[in-house]
Amino acid sequence: MRRWFGFLSILILTLGNPTAANAVTDSAWDMMRVKAVWDAGYKGEGASIAFIDQGVNLNHEYFQGKVVDGYCLYASYTANYCPNGTKFQTGPAAASQRTVAGYPVLAENHGNMVAGIAAGTPNDQAAGGIANEANIVMANVDLTLDGITAAARYIADRAEANNTVAVSLSFGGLFTEMPRSWLLCDNNPALVELASIFEELRERGVITFAAAGNTPMLDVATSIFPSCLKDVVAVGSVNSAAEISWYVTMSNKIELLAPDFAKSADTYGYQTGSGTSAATPAAAAAFTVLRQAFPEVSSEQILAVMKSTGTKVDDVLRKGIPLVNLEAAYLSLSQGQSQPETSEKKVTIGTYNGYIAIYTKGYEGRRLTAKVAGRWLKVDPIELAPGKTYSLTKRNTGAGYTINIEVYIDGELLAEDTVLTR
């Protein structure tokens, strides 16, 4: 299969002399208000973040003792080999950045950047990743659809053993090579298997974050693959002025923003990240520390709070896109934990004036998906109707039709009915 993917990063190199010492600060983490969660003792301990990328330099101090699992797969027609000298390998050693004659390929340092932003160990050169006590699972594959799908399946199969809570994807299809049919994304037969893996992960509480893309287009029909998939959270980026970065591929699929300028690992030293590539692991790591802090709160609720508490940033066309604010999310979840959940939970299906009406009560902050007459709709997060104690979701189908409806909350089927619209 043709290699048609590219990593989504414009890398700016800033080398240092790595030595273990006291950690420094990072203005990107200040923007995301990370310190409040660190001070509360939450840095991702015990959790893993999984990546599909270019591997990491296992000897870099940023990753010492942090890589708990890996996956390597290279297509037979390439000249690339896994660390064991074959085309396939699993286990921590398989997470290695590709080497030639025993030396890392310097041009393939993208995996170091993304993994370091999420989970790098703090030192006197860089502040460390947001979830700097989390572990790393790294899949290093040729970026063909077959390779990506195989890596995603491995991550899913090993998610429980590795305690993987988030997946970070900083690659995407190039507009010049991507077939237009791929704009259908979830409906494309070629993507069914991969989409089902991410859906399965999400149902198990593992959220996949993907870079929205670095092609400067406004209000496009869809994000690029794989961020366009319905169960994947598309992440855009902001610059040091907290403005949408000039290059972001903007669509309504973007759910979160994060900085593009955090310092992270290079092959041997350190670099300043860039692109939506850098923003994506930051969002995944923020989710990871909140999962550690609030283990009894569902993944969907945590994601909803990250969106509702994010610092609102306006783009040229889209307004109020949430930039992750960890302090605000932590405080909101802390207050929510001390409050009893609504005792009454209800999902009701009705019809009026040619509309299907779905009412929910007690599911605020969760994710609703519904299949109405064979078409899907999504509400994420569920919010109360103005001045009401319930939420209302509507779809216009016209009167006089027999309609089948299925309603899911966080992927669980809670109501289904067949109604005659009126």
Q: What is the pLDDT of residues 256-283, one digit of tens each?
A: 999 999 999 999 999 999 999 999 999 9
Question: How far apart are the C-alpha atoms of 359 and 82, rounded to whole Å?
Answer: 53
Residue 143 lies in a domain: yes
Please give the structure tokens belonging to residue 322: 């949430």
Query: Tens digit of pLDDT for each residue in 192-209?
Result: 899 999 999 999 999 999
Same domain, 128 and 22: yes
Same domain, 270 and 245: yes
pTM higher than 0.95: no
37: number of Cβ within 10 Å: 24
Same domain, 117 and 64: yes
Q: Could you give the count of Cα atoms lying within 13 Å of 16 in the half-sphere of its Cβ?
A: 18
Residue 245 near residue 260 (C-beta atoms within 8 A):
yes
CATH of the domain at 386: 2.60.40.10
Same domain, 280 and 390: no
Q: Chain-wide mean pLDDT for the chain?
A: 87
Domain boundary among 277, 312, 335: 335
Residue 136 lies in a domain: yes
Domain boundary among 267, 300, 335: 335
Q: Which domain holds residue 354?
A: 346-420
Same domain, 283 and 358: no
* pLDDT at residue 313 tops 90: yes
ω into residue 92 within 30 of 0, thus cis?
no
Question: How far apart are the C-alpha atoms of 257 and 391, rounded to whole Å?
Answer: 26
Residue 182: per-residue pLDDT: 55
Same domain, 362 and 297: no
Residue 38 lies in a domain: yes
Please give the structure tokens belonging to residue 355: 């509309």
Same domain, 330 and 353: no
Report which of 281, 233, 292, 7 is spatially closest to residue 128, judged by C-alpha positions: 281
Report which of 305, 333, 300, 69 is spatially closest to residue 202, judged by C-alpha positions: 300
CATH of the domain at 79: 3.40.50.200
What's the rounded mean pLDDT across residues 133-143? 95
Same domain, 354 and 313: no
Cα four-point dihedral sign 216, 219, 225, 227: positive
Same domain, 352 and 320: no
Residue 341 lies in a domain: no
Same domain, 120 and 240: yes
Residue 231 has what DSSP assignment? T
Q: What is the separation of C-alpha 40 from the centre of its chain, rounded to a whole number of angstroms?
A: 24
Same domain, 248 and 380: no
Same domain, 90 and 56: yes
Please give the structure tokens belonging to residue 209: 């974050």
Residue 198 lies in a domain: yes
ω into residue 259 within 30 of 0, thus cis?
no
Query: Tens digit of pLDDT for each residue in 139-170?
Result: 999 888 899 999 999 999 999 999 999 999 99
Residue 301 lies in a domain: yes
Residue 227 lies in a domain: yes
| Number of domains forming the structure of the chain | 2
* pLDDT at residue 243 tops 60: yes
Residue 201 lies in a domain: yes
Domain boundary among 335, 355, 388: 335
| C-alpha separations of 399 from 348, 377, 403 in Å | 19, 19, 10
